[in-house]
Amino acid sequence: MQHRGAVIIDPGHVGKQRYGGSSPLGVEPVEKQVNLDLARRVAARLGDVAQLTRSSDINVPLRERAQLAGRAGAKVLVSIHANSGEPGARGSEVWVHDAQEPRSVELAQAIHGQLERVGPTRGIYRGPIGVLDPRDTGGVAACLVEADYLSDPQGRERLTSARGLDQLADAIASGVRGYLDTGLDAGPYGAPWAVAQGIIEPEIDYASTSLAESNRLWTEWLARYGRWYKGVPDGALRSFPHAAICQLRMTMSGSNGNSNSFWGTGFYIGNDKLLTVGHNLRERDHGVTWTATEIIVEPGYSPRVSTLPTRSFKINDVYRHVHPRWSSASGSGYEPGYDLAVLRVAGLGATAGTFSLANRSLGGDEGIVVAGYGKNREQPFEEQPQRMDGAALSRADHLTMDYPIQTLGGHSGSPVFHDGMVVGVHRSTGGSTRNTAVTLTPEKIDWINGNSGNP
């Protein structure tokens, strides 16, 4: 399992340093701001295993940055910079120390290979770079990335646009993952902040796209989809956020006298308190009302190596759990924006942390992740793992939000989250480009916090 600080991300140049503190064109942005913005995006994609050498405009000496990697017991150090140079120079470069070990070259090659996929590159270089000095880093794999040239108009556009920075961050993070080859147990899986089209089936205009390019797009999509379908690595399921996400197996009684089993997802918002969607406990379908009578809760479930305890809970009064605007004893409800339920799971406490509920709105460039137990109907449900994908919100209001994320039936009740903060609860799969969640607002959060969830 990777620990926090396994990957050190160093945003180059800060404070009152002579170099890197101003723009080559004499106007904003300065390199240190670009470096910090890109470094934050890389760290977000790597999750809790990543640690920044600085998170604001403070001056941290080069040697201290290098030594942090050794003190943290890191496996990787990546220093991030923006370049400047002669007219016409542009593209990404990756540097290693000229006295560095082969592992640093392997890291540089992994990152450079991913950078080649998203834009022009200029190769891998060696030099006496202070922040990479192996005498200070402790010999960890270390490289410096010059993301592009601020002195070039196209490079500048790339380094100052959200799209350009996201592409660079995806590439750098993917290179780090490829070098470690572990899935980064404690962090998000499969570059969840990447654009969802990495997972969503591509729409190709064959009239304007060459056969070779079409084949490349399909090959890349199939590789990413295959990794998503395989699920979150087993080692990650003992760590947050994956251990805080539970598979739910509901026994539900129908108003027609029948009984049936349903599958869904819930997640910890307290030591023994779960949040899920209301329709996992109470649902109306084709004239039949289904009510949960028993729920089996399986935290961090894996069909291969599940080690966390599970427990079954009786549901004595469903109205104690579901939001009254979803279902009430008077028969009113089923409002999509209030499809929420709370469940107390006494004796089955969270083992690796809990989610927090939204305390702010997300910015347009902040990604979201959906992780849960979606089921393919062509495979036995109990043999399927936790699956995760990510993107950005495409629409949101005080009731619901939409996003282009890969999900399946069974994802209902999954957290829609950013950096451990839940902004919504996934409720429906409306095709690849329109999945919907209940938006968490102060009003709904007050109801959640005030509901004990006791059976």
| Predicted local confidence at residue 186, as pLDDT | 32
Residues 237-249: tens digit of each pLDDT: 888 888 999 999 9
Check the CA dihedral 303-322-282-252 and report its sign: positive
Give 294's strand partners.
251, 314
Residues 82-117: tens digit of each pLDDT: 998 888 899 999 999 988 677 888 899 889 988 988
Has residue 427 got a pLDDT over 60?
yes
Has residue 54 got a pLDDT over 50?
yes
Has residue 322 got a pLDDT over 60?
yes
Q: 134: pLDDT confidence band, cut at 50, 70 and 90?
A: confident
- Residue owning tokens 């957290």: 415
| Predicted local confidence at residue 252, as pLDDT | 95
**Burial of 359 from C-beta contacts in 10 A (0-12 / 13-18 / 19+):** exposed
CATH number of 189-455: 2.40.10.120
Write out the H or E segment, with its range, that includes residue 81: strand 76-83
| Predicted local confidence at residue 152, as pLDDT | 92
Has residue 221 got a pLDDT over 80?
no
SS3 40: helix
Q: 364: pLDDT confidence band, cut at 50, 70 and 90?
A: low
pTM: 0.56
The rounded Cα 173 to chain-centroid distance in angstroms is: 12
The neighbour count for residue 174, using CB atoms within 10 Å, is 22
> What phi and psi, each to the nearest 5 degrees, are found at residue 72?
-80, -5
Domain ranges of the chain: 7-187, 189-455
Residues 397-417: tens digit of each pLDDT: 889 988 887 788 889 999 998
| Predicted local confidence at residue 101, as pLDDT | 72
Amino acid at site 276: T
The rounded Cα 70 to chain-centroid distance in angstroms is: 27
Give 298's strand partners.
247
Q: 419: pLDDT confidence band, cut at 50, 70 and 90?
A: confident
CATH number of 7-187: 3.40.630.40
| Predicted local confidence at residue 209, as pLDDT | 59
Has residue 446 got a pLDDT over 70?
yes
| Predicted local confidence at residue 136, as pLDDT | 85
CA 39 – CA 52 distance, rounded (Å): 8
CA 259 – CA 412 distance, rounded (Å): 20
Percentage of the chain with pLDDT > 70?
Answer: 80
* Count of residues in the chain: 455
Range 266-282 average pLDDT: 96
Residues 170-203: tens digit of each pLDDT: 999 888 988 886 333 333 333 333 333 344 455 5
